[in-house]
Amino acid sequence: MKVVVFGFVAACAAGMLWLFLQPVCQGGHIVANAAECAQHFSAGFCNNAFSRTTSIAARSGPTYNSDNECRDSWPVCDRREPQGYGPRPSHWCLVEASGGTAARIEPQFNNRRQ
């Protein structure tokens, strides 16, 4: 019985370790701005991707009723119409598709105070 319990705990620990070690941005790069994006991708791809970040950020992340409530947890918050306030992404996960278009654009939030 001890072997079964130990095996189960070891399997759960191994699964959690495997999940923890997975890259945040599989198949792409995490960038802060268009200049950093140009180091990994073409200028056209970066211009196209960063032209869409404002609308994506408005739909992503947690939403708070007031700016003060948002700033209790996040260093920089933006107004979101019509739902309230939300954190500003500090970085973006960009993955390029085979045709040069953006396969994935995901905001990365950093709640550390600078």
Q: What is the pLDDT of residues 65-94, one digit of tens each?
A: 999 999 998 989 999 877 899 999 999 999
Which pLDDT does position 102 carry in this prediction?
85
Task: Outline where DSSP puts E strands in 18-114.
Answer: 29-31, 77-80, 84-87, 91-96, 102-108
Ranges of the chain whose pLDDT falls below 70: 112-114
Q: Using alpha carbons only, give the angle 59, 33, 86 rounded to the nearest 5 degrees.
A: 30
Which pLDDT does position 1 carry in this prediction?
84
Output the pTM of the full model. 0.76
Which pLDDT does position 113 carry in this prediction?
56
